[in-house]
Amino acid sequence: MSDVNIAKRKEKCENCTKQCNKKQSDDGANTHQEREEVNGQVHEGSQLLLSACLSCDGCLSEEESLKISQQSLEEVERVLALNKKCDVSKHKVLVASICPQSLPFFAVKFGLDITEAAHKLCGFLKTLGVQFVFDTTLAAGFSILESQREFIQRYRRRHHDSHALPMFTSSCPGWIRYSERVLGSLVTPHICTARSPQQVMGCLVKKYFSKQQKLSPEKVYHVLVAPCFDKKLEAVREEFYNSLLETRDVDCVLTSGEIYCLMEQRKVSVEELDSVPLDHVLGEAGDVALVRHEGRGSEGFLEHVFKHAAKELFGLDVHEITYKHLRNRDFQEVTLERDGETLLQFAAVYGFRNIQTLVHRMRKGRVPYQLVEVLSCPGGCLSGRGQAESEAGGKVDKVLIQQMEEAYSSLPIRLPEVNPALHTLYQEWLQGQDSQQASTLLHTQYRNQSHTQPPHMQW
């Protein structure tokens, strides 16, 4: 990159930093003492999500900007248009995967229960030319089980590995980017290596399903519907790109809001859409029973790992988890005790103001937790800016979020441990839980990239 471009980017980034700091000191939180007192609270008009920052081009490289520009409806329509032409060599099989946190958005917008909304959405996607539509809950099950296993391994080596604990969850790309770009070695060795549900789903589609369909991975175009803009950045990470076949595990991420806007643009009537059941990754016949994992709407990594660790490490069965609110509802902790002794202490930390509190404590060596579930969006994944903004834009629609939470909680819970499809795939696809195949396809690594953003960046 030329010196001129570097100078321009530095100027942009420094100005962006000033604006971030200014925006976060609004509403009278102008002194250091006042900022400390409200650090964990979310204030209307002053909150700034990392996704809002990443939407500008100040912190994105030219290569990233180009890749992000391809994560669009226009790109999907380009692929669909090629399929309509006679050149069969350029035809691609379109596969769509829908995050379970996106389904409540469509349920509320359509005025239907989640299952019927999923069927209507599936019907719409298939009218576009998408041939297979999946739910990513199965992929999330892999991510949860691998996170459980990794936590147990880290806990058992905690006395001779200073980076073993605390373990931070890795499913939120906003948090991961902040860790790699700003926090560096303070945090990255602590991040769980289990791939996010999105990227496990990418592997399932490109490395298992495509093979079942007798297709080369590059002949499959995989679209993922998510509640969060930052998922676009995750999809273009270099470790999820096959340079030999020139294909990504996830070719395009579209937010729930983008799909809904497309429906509005095309004046699609929900009543006129066919109700089409979702497809099975395993190719089984029959409807897919929509279920959810335990937790607050973000796959429940904390709850699953907590219960598993209690049983595996201490022989205790935990049936119900009680959250203790600390600064606010987005900074909570859970504790496992026996005979007055604290055995485990986990925390759920959502939103960048709370993350700053966590990082501040970590720098001072005052983090008592063995695991922290970290998400960049206050309220978790259901509050992703790709679906939770008001129609006017810019602000979170609290009524919509409450309705989505109610819709999501209506789904029945199923533990990934008892999902027969996961056991089948572990054996048929991965050659067992402890195999090299499972380690390669279900895990990744995170690296320090602190040089790409100014060290004084604050949130």
Which tens digits make up the pLDDT trace of 130-187?
999 999 999 999 999 999 999 999 999 999 999 999 999 999 998 998 898 888 989 9
User: Do residues 316 and 384 share a domain?
Assistant: yes
- Of 288, 309, 338, which one is at a domain's C-terminal end? 288
Strand partners, 336: 344
User: Do residues 242 and 328 share a domain?
Assistant: no
User: Do residues 311 and 370 share a domain?
Assistant: yes
pLDDT at 435 over 60: yes
User: Do residues 188 and 241 share a domain?
Assistant: no
Mean pLDDT of 449-453: 54
User: Do residues 159 and 299 share a domain?
Assistant: yes
pLDDT at residue 59 in the model: 58
Task: CATH number of the domain at 343, please.
Answer: 3.40.950.10
Task: Give me the chain's average pLDDT, please.
Answer: 83
Instruction: For residue range 202-214, list pLDDT tens digits in order.
Output: 999 999 999 999 9
Taking each helix axis from N to C terminus, what angle separates 256-265 and 103-110, rounded to the nearest 10 degrees?
A: 30
57 part of a folded domain: no
User: Do residues 359 and 316 share a domain?
Assistant: yes
Query: What is the C-alpha to C-alpha distance for residues 333 and 331, in angstroms, rounded to an integer?
Result: 7
**Lowest mean per-residue pLDDT among 217-221, 225-229, 290-294:** 290-294
Nearest to 448 by CA among 178, 100, 43, 99: 178
170 part of a folded domain: yes
14: tokens are 């420094």
User: Do residues 154 and 124 share a domain?
Assistant: no
**Lowest mean per-residue pLDDT among 79-88, 221-230, 296-305:** 79-88
419: tokens are 């999902």
User: Do residues 94 and 161 share a domain?
Assistant: no
Instruction: For residue range 365-416, list pLDDT tens digits in order.
Output: 889 999 999 998 888 898 888 898 877 666 888 999 999 999 999 999 889 9
Assign residue 6 a region (left: φ > 0; alpha: ψ between -120 and 50; beta: otherwise).
alpha
Task: CATH number of the domain at 234, please.
Answer: 3.40.50.1780
pTM: 0.85
74 part of a folded domain: yes
Mean pLDDT of 106-113: 95
pLDDT at 4 over 60: no
User: Do residues 132 and 90 share a domain?
Assistant: yes
Reduced to 3 states (helix: H, G, I; strand: E, B; else coil), residue 27 is coil
Strand partners, 332: 325, 348
Reduced to 3 states (helix: H, G, I; strand: E, B; else coil), residue 240 is helix
Phi, psi dihedral angles at 342 (to 5 degrees):
-80, 115
pLDDT at 53 over 90: no
pLDDT at residue 143 in the model: 96
- Of 263, 288, 313, which one is at a domain's C-terminal end? 288
User: Do residues 110 and 163 share a domain?
Assistant: no
CA 12 to chain CA centroid, Å, is 28
Q: Find the domain containing 180 and state its range.
A: 141-195+293-417
Instruction: For residue range 224-274, list pLDDT tens digits in order.
Output: 999 988 899 899 888 888 877 778 999 999 999 999 999 999 999 999 999
Q: Provide the domain count of the chain.
A: 2
Instruction: For residue range 59-77, list pLDDT tens digits in order.
Output: 566 676 777 777 888 989 8
Q: What is the DSSP letter of 26?
A: -
Reduced to 3 states (helix: H, G, I; strand: E, B; else coil), residue 358 is helix
pLDDT at residue 71 in the model: 81
pLDDT at residue 7 in the model: 43
Query: What is the C-alpha to C-alpha distance for residues 435 and 429, in angstroms, rounded to an integer?
Result: 11
User: Do residues 223 and 239 share a domain?
Assistant: yes
373 part of a folded domain: yes
23 part of a folded domain: no
For 320, half-sphere exposure in the C-beta direction (CA atoms, 13 angstrom radius) is: 1
| Cis previous bond, 227, omega within 30 | no
User: Do residues 267 and 362 share a domain?
Assistant: no
450: tokens are 């602190």
- 45 by Cβ neighbours in 10 Å (0-12 / 13-18 / 19+) ranks as exposed
Query: What is the C-alpha to C-alpha distance for residues 236 and 67, in angstroms, rounded to an integer?
Result: 7
- Of 273, 288, 303, which one is at a domain's C-terminal end? 288
pLDDT at residue 359 in the model: 92
397 part of a folded domain: yes
24 part of a folded domain: no
Reduced to 3 states (helix: H, G, I; strand: E, B; else coil), residue 373 is strand
Answer for the pair 278, 291: CB distance below 8 angstroms, yes or no.
Answer: no
